[in-house]
Amino acid sequence: MSGAEITIGALSEQTGVNIETVRYYERIGLIPPAHRSAGGRRVFDADDVRRLSFIRRARQLGFSTDEIRSLLDVAKGARACKDAHALAVKHRDAVRASIRDLRRLERTLTEAADRCSKGVSPGCAIVEALSH
């Protein structure tokens, strides 16, 4: 069922997650302790690839490791789907707030940079903008 065994290097390549990061995830308990070969090396299988890919996508969406723990619980049925929904909505709202903040910020930076390049302001427009 679980198919071929792969090394940490192969796991890293197949999922796009850094080797050091895989070991880090194991250390903080985001993934279970890997089985070991006779020589003491970590051995992974297709389930591990799926789990790690899941984690990677969740990280790309900006979920924290603690939130991912909850999402993994939902994925394996140990927690209700509505918890995942709540997390996603909460996270989406945070993202929306970030976007609003960044838009304001972008305007401010653009204004300062434009005035500067036009040489309108007496001193440096960037510095001026930061001084009041």
Partner DNA sequence: TTAACTCCTGTAGTGGCTACAGGAGCAAGC
Partner DNA sequence: GCTTGCTCCTGTAGCCACTACAGGAGTTAA
Binding site for a second copy (CB under 8 A): 50, 54, 57-58, 61-62, 71, 74-75, 81, 84-85, 87-89, 91-92, 95-96, 98-99, 102-103, 105-106, 108-110, 112-113, 116-117, 123-127, 130-131
Return the number of other C-beta atoms located less than 10 Å from residue 72's C-beta: 17
Q: What is the dihedral of CA 48, 76, 61, 12, to 10 degrees?
A: 0
Q: For DNA, which stretch binds (CB under 7 A), given 1-9, 77-85, 98-106, 114-122?
A: 1-9
Contact 41, 5 (CB under 8 A): no
The amino acid that residue 33 corresponds to is: P
Distance CA 67, CA 74 (A): 11
Distance CA 49, CA 14 (A): 7
Q: Which helix (H) or strand (E) holds 111?
A: helix 81-118
- Give the shortest CB-90-to-DNA separation in angstroms: 14
> What are the structure tokens assigned to 53, written together?
């890919």
Contact mark string toward DNA, 18..57, x via CB under 7 A:
xxxx-xx---------x--xxxxxx---------------
- Give the shortest CB-70-to-DNA separation in angstroms: 12
User: Which of DNA, a second copy, none does residue 35 bind (CB under 5 to 8 Å by kind)?
Assistant: none
Q: Which residues bind DNA (CB under 7 A)?
A: 7-10, 12, 18-21, 23-24, 34, 37-42, 59, 64-66
